[in-house]
Amino acid sequence: MLTELKREAYEANLALPRHGLINLTFGNASALDRARGIFAIKPSGVAYEALKPADMVLVDLDGKIVEGKLNPSSDTPTHRRLFLAFKSIGGVVHTHSSHATAFAQAGRAIPIFGTTHADYFNGDIPVTRRMTKAEIADAYEWNTGEVIVEGFKRSRLDPVDFPGVLVNRHAPFTWGPTVAKAVEVAVAVECIAHMALMSLQLSPGLKSIEPELLARHFKRKHGPGATYGQKG
């Protein structure tokens, strides 16, 4: 089972450059076996073209390395914090995809202008507050997760309805019930960000999507009444 977990994380990491979400080694993906309390994550600083399934590092939810000869991603504490806080998720992805990162660096949520966005998020893609000097100076990666969790609690956001976030001055994190779904959301977030920027160029005063249209698109793909796709 842990070999399969490594394979899932490996394939998710390779999908990031394939989808154009990664430059150099900026980003990572992790897959969680919640029953065992262990997740597999990309090793730090290893080029994607050099990765092998065996390179994935296994880490438990206490932050201890269970298996692996390489150092895990520097973002491992952020992934761990999200796994601990959001009980429904089984995978986390972090990228520095250009358009989504532009919104993050500007400290701006991505407004919900259209139905592509509404297929994935039940509102604007949120952005965290800026981190304090103290948060940056000590346990920075863990505190990155803390500001995400804090923001969701403060705004009463459900991580199922909002499967991603922009970290202020940093970049996006996405998640899902599996790491493959977290990759899909990362692709969607970059696409949504790109379209939002173009929409704002065409219509600087553009208003958010109508609530009834948002509800129609979001609910047909999410929740017990979902009708999108095939049954069984």
Residues involved in catalysis: 119, 228
**Nearest Cα to 181, choosing from 32, 27, 76?**
32
What is the three-state SS of the chain? CHHHHHHHHHHHHHHHHHCCCCCCCCEEEEEEECCCCEEEECECCCCHHHCCHHHCEEEECCCCEEECCCCECCCHHHHHHHHHHCCCCCEEEEECCHHHHHHHHHCCCECCCCHHHHCCCCCCECECCCCCHHHHHCCHHHHHHHHHHHHHHHHCCCCCCCCEEECCCCCEEEEECCHHHHHHHHHHHHHHHHHHHHHHHHCCCCCCCCHHHHHHHHHHHCCCCCCCCCCC
- Distance (Å, rounded) from C-alpha 54 to C-alpha 200? 44
**Nearest Cα to 174, choosing from 68, 101, 229, 67?**
101
Q: Yes or no: say if 192 and 164 are a contact pair by the CB < 8 Å rule.
A: no
